[in-house]
Structure formats: structure tokens, C-alpha cells
Amino acid sequence: MATPSTDEVRAGLPPALAEALAGYEEHLTGQRDLSANTVRSYVGDVARLLDHLARRSGTQPHDLDLATLRSWLAQGRTRGHSRSTTARHASAARSFTAWLRRAALTPEDVGQRLVSPKTHRTLPDVLAPEQARALVETAAGAEEPVRLRDAVVLELLYASGIRVSELVGLDVDDVDRGRRLLRVLGKGRKERSVPYGVPAERALEAWLTRGRPALARPDSGPALLLGLRGGRLDAREARRTVHAATTGVPGAPDIGPHGLRHSAATHVLEGGADLRSVQELLGHASLATTQIYTHVTVERLRAVHAQAHPRA
């Protein structure tokens, strides 16, 4: 039996619950200014929570209690949800119950007492520095417009550590070539400036003078990176570019743009940068998010120790 879509779940909710969900969605979109993907994820999770409530005979937001929250998470676990998925559901539920209380739809925030499992933070695949160098040079020396663009994609992702969504969102005017800075619009529409190096500047020069003019159309607009038809480069095409490049690097893991971001952060830390600087570079709201890269470097140190120390 196919899993119902979010729209199908919403259509079956009691009116008061459907109205509360619509208000919560408006809050996420208009006040918290979250990305479309994040809003879609949270709304989908909460829609299923409210469907669970309705199946337990709840018809009003104030019918949502701690027992319902716990039973919803437990139901997911019996259906095979991972710890990380359960933690995400719990986070969505707490966000929703906090909003219900602020909107005066419930007398208390029942989600404050909800405990979710801690996720196992797996270490991301990262490239060794020599593998990263080989990967970004896979498109070097090419003169075809698409290959010149691919070289910029690889160079900027690794040089700056920006997200692929941030990369494809860049306009030509977002690049300060004199100071080698990118003006990036990150999560929550927070703007930051990110530096890039000389190799990326060379790739940009080739792209802007010989590549982009060949692909540009009258309706291309200000996008820095263009697709074959002259429109803004799609994030999926940027991902394909990275995956294709990894196949040409012996021994390299099959990583995507996020893997290049992980690699950039790891290499910067290993080069002596402090954690706060890496946090600013990556655009993390919390230092705790950046700290995973310290685990990466420690694991690499352990591997070197185990291989090289006579008493390991």
C-alpha cells in the first residue's frame, strides 16, 4: 500500500487541525524564513502527527498531549524509522507545539517534555588533500564552455566550502574578484562573505571570458553559472559534475558537493584554522554543527597513529 502524500493527509484532517497546520506553515514561511525544502519537511511531519492525533479521536489542537506525541514516535520506530528520522520527527513536533502555545491554541507546550533519541553522528566521507587537488583539476585545461563551467563548479565548491544551493544561487555581481570574495545567501537568508583562492579565480576568469558568453542567452539574467540552455545552472547538474569528477580520481570515495564541503572544512581545520573561523566560513548557526569536523580530524589522527606508531 502506497504511503499517502502530505496533501492527501492534510485533506483528511478535521477542520480545526487543518487550520492549525496551515497557520504553522505560514509561520515557517513568513516569519522564520526557512527554505522551501525545510518547510516542506516540517509540514509533512506535522501533518502526519495530526493525522495520528485524529486517529486517536483528537479534533482540536488542545487534544494534542504528550502521550500522543510519544505514541506517534513509537509507531514510527515500529515501522522501521531510523534514529535520525525519529529525532527529526521529534524536532518537528517540538517546533509545532511551541508555535501552538505562542498562538494561544493550547494552554501549554506539551512538546517541552518530549525526549527524542540522540542520533549517531556518522563521520562524512572526505577526500585526502591530494585527492581533492586531483578532483578539482579533472576539468583543468579544457576549452569547451561546459567544461569551463564544470571547472568553476569544482574549484568554488572546494575553495569556499559553500553549499551547492548557495553556489547555483550566485549572480555575477556576487563575485568580488578584486578581493576574491563570494557574497553568499545561506540558510535563513543570512548573507556572508566567503573567500576563495587563486586557482578558483583562474577558473572564474576562463569561465567569464570564454565559457559563459558562449552559453548566455538574452533571458539568462544575472546567474553566474549557466546550463546548456542558458538558464541558471540546476543543483542536480552541479551534483552530477562532482560525482563524475570523483570517478577520475583513483581511490577517492564517491562524494557529491556536500562531500567537497566536508573536505574543505576538514582540510582548513587540519591546516590550523580555529573552529569559529570554520563556523563562519560554512555559515553554521551553531558551533556544535561545526564540531563534527573535529571528529573527522581526530579519526584521521587515530588512523595515522595506528599505522605509524610502534606501540599503537
Concerning whether 179 is annotated as a catalytic residue, the answer is no
- 89, 94, 149, 261: the active-site residue: 261
> Checking DSSP bridges between strand 191-195 and strand 175-176, what pairing results, if any?
unpaired
Q: Which three cell numbers stand for residue 248?
A: 577520475
Round to whole Å and give the CA distance between 213 and 200.
19
Using left for φ > 0, alpha for ψ between -120 and 50, and beta otherwise, residue 109 falls in beta
- 62, 77, 180, 187: the active-site residue: 187
Look up residue 63 and give its amino acid: D
- 24, 158, 196, 293: the active-site residue: 293
Give, as one character, the DSSP assignment of residue 181. Answer: E
User: In this structure, are residues 135 and 167 in contact, taking their beta carbons and an 8 Å threshold?
Assistant: no
Give the strands of the sheet with 191-195, arranged side by side: 175-176, 181-185, 191-195
- 163, 212, 262, 267: the active-site residue: 163
Concerning whether 262 is annotated as a catalytic residue, the answer is no
- 27, 258, 295, 300: the active-site residue: 258
Look up residue 15 and give its amino acid: P
3-class DSSP state of 3: coil
Concerning whether 305 is annotated as a catalytic residue, the answer is no
3-class DSSP state of 103: coil
User: In this structure, are residues 191 and 184 in contact, taking their beta carbons and an 8 Å threshold?
Assistant: yes
- 10, 52, 89, 284: the active-site residue: 284
Round to whole Å and give the CA distance between 94 and 116.
10
Angle made by CA atoms 5, 6, 7, in degrees to the nearest 5: 90
Concerning whether 258 is annotated as a catalytic residue, the answer is yes
Q: Which three cell numbers stand for residue 15?
A: 477542520
The Cα-based distances of 175 to 1, 37, 182, 257 in angstroms read 50, 26, 5, 20
Angle made by CA atoms 106, 50, 107, in degrees to the nearest 5: 5
Round to whole Å and give the CA distance between 163 and 179.
21
Concerning whether 158 is annotated as a catalytic residue, the answer is no
Round to whole Å and give the CA distance between 61 and 54.
10
Concerning whether 118 is annotated as a catalytic residue, the answer is no
Annotated catalytic sites, by residue? Answer: 163, 187, 258, 261, 284, 293
